[in-house]
């Protein structure tokens, strides 16, 4: 097994600091070492104050989203040597308030789902008999989206307008419009029919490029536009 020492240049930030800095750590990796493993190695062997968020290690939970060499990815499935650079730059997601090091505050991200009324989170048909965990009424699922926030970080418009609903919430709204399962969709369409909603998108499709679950948020936003354009014309023609 080939081993190589790679420099991991990690963004560092602690509350109270005026702005983030970078710290470089030498890490010995082999062809199986993921960025997430390299970071946890740093935490274990070099600097226990390095904060990061992770859980499943297999691209399922969406918690280890970060920017690796400038690109939004899940650190658990990116192998360090596959990147092909001697120095790997690791930064937290953009367009989310930085809490510490590689950890961002996901509240604004989830708030967008909440303010839409969470209509797209529907009762799971897969777990009818499962024991429900404390604090929730039912197990729910949200289609393919793993809520990692990569799309929001990559979106050029989120950086221009911090109140833009963003790709994840808009994609979720369109899933309900596509497949209402009895839910009323007109008010949801109204909610996205504004400057902060689906008309803000500038069709750069960065969200779809970085989505690790193939949700294609850009395609969903365009589908919402199609619905709203049709609705406008049909109202104009008295339909």
Partner 1 sequence: MDQIQPTTDPARPRNPLKSWFDVRGRKVGTWAFALNRLTAIGLTVYLFMHLIVLSTLLGGEEGWNTFLAIARSPLFLVLDVVLLFGVIYHALNGTRVALVGMGFAARNHKTLFWVLSAIGIVLFLVGAYLIFTL
Partner 2 sequence: MQNTVSRRSLEQMSMERDRSGSLWIIQAFSGLFLVFILGMHMIAHHFIVEEGLRDYQQVLDYVANPVVFVIEILFVILATTHAMLGTRAIILDLRPSLGATRTLNWILGIIGGLTIAYGIWLAFALQRLVG
Applying CB under 8 A, the span of 10-18, 146-154, 190-198, 207-215 interacting with partner 2 comes to 190-198
Positions touching partner 1 (CB under 8 A) are 13, 17, 19-20, 69-71, 94-98, 104, 107-109, 111-112, 115, 152, 154, 156-163, 165-166, 196, 202-206, 209, 216, 218-219, 222-223, 225-227, 229
Instruction: Give every CB contact of residue 5 below 8 A, 6+ residues apart in sequence.
Output: 26, 27, 28, 29
Largest Cα span, the chain: 70
Choose from partner 2, partner 1, none: what does 232 bind? Cβ within 5-8 Å by kind.
Answer: partner 2
Q: Check binding of 199 to partner 2 (CB under 8 A).
A: yes
Choose from partner 1, partner 2, none: what does 108 bind? Cβ within 5-8 Å by kind.
Answer: partner 1
In the list 56, 118, 130, 132, the residue contacting partner 2 (rule: CB under 8 A) is: 118
Q: Minimal distance in Å, beta carbon 213 to partner 1?
A: 15
Count of CB atoms within 10 A of residue 188's CB? 21
Instruction: Give every CB contact of residue 3 below 8 A, 6+ residues apart in sequence.
Output: 28, 29, 30
Q: Minimal distance in Å, beta carbon 43 to partner 1?
A: 21
Q: Check binding of 161 to partner 2 (CB under 8 A).
A: yes
Q: Check binding of 114 to partner 2 (CB under 8 A).
A: yes
Q: Check binding of 182 to partner 2 (CB under 8 A).
A: yes
Which is nearer to partner 1, 2 or 18 (by Cβ)? 18
Choose from partner 1, partner 2, none: what does 206 bind? Cβ within 5-8 Å by kind.
Answer: partner 1
Sort 219 into a burial class: Cβ within 10 Å, 0-12 / 13-18 / 19+: middle
Choose from partner 1, partner 2, none: what does 96 bind? Cβ within 5-8 Å by kind.
Answer: partner 1
Q: Minimal distance in Å, beta carbon 109 to partner 1?
A: 8
Count of CB atoms within 10 A of residue 69's CB? 16
Check if the beta carbon of residue 158 is closer than 8 Å to that of residue 164: yes
Alpha carbon 191 to its chain centroid, in Å, reads: 21
CA angle 58, 61, 66 (to 5 degrees): 85
Binders of partner 2 among 14-73, rule CB under 8 A? none
Minimal CA–CA distance to 103: which of 146, 45, 39?
39
Which is nearer to partner 1, 110 or 139 (by Cβ)? 110
- Please report, in angstroms and rounded to a whole number, the separation of the first and last CA atoms in the chain: 68
In the list 160, 178, 179, 204, the residue contacting partner 2 (rule: CB under 8 A) is: 160
In angstroms, the Cα distances linking 191 to 37, 133, 164, 168, 169 are: 41, 32, 12, 15, 11
């Amino acid at each position: 097994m080939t081993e190589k020492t790679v420099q991991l240049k990690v963004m560092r930030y602690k509350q109270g600091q005026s702005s983030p800095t970078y710290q470089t750590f030498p890490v010995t990796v082999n062809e199986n070492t993921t960025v997430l493993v390299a970071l946890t190695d740093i935490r274990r062997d070099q600097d226990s104050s390095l904060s990061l968020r992770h859980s499943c290690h297999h691209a399922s939970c969406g918690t280890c989203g970060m920017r690796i060499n400038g690109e939004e990815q899940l650190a658990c499935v990116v192998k360090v040597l596959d990147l092909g650079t001697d120095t790997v730059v690791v930064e937290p997601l953009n367009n989310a308030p930085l809490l510490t090091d590689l950890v961002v505050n996901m509240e604004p991200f989830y708030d967008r789902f909440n303010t839409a009324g969470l209509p797209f989170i529907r009762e799971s048909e897969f777990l009818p008999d499962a024991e429900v965990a404390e604090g929730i009424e039912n197990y729910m699922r949200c289609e393919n989206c793993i809520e990692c926030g990569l799309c929001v970080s990559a979106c050029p418009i989120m950086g221009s307008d911090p109140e833009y609903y963003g790709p994840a919430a808009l994609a979720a709204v369109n899933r309900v419009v596509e497949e209402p399962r009895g839910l009323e969709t007109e008010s949801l369409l109204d909610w996205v029919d504004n400057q902060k909603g689906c008309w803000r998108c500038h069709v750069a499709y960065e969200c779809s490029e970085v989505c690790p679950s193939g949700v294609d948020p850009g395609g969903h936003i365009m589908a919402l536009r199609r619905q709203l354009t049709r609705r406008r014309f049909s109202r104009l023609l008295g339909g």
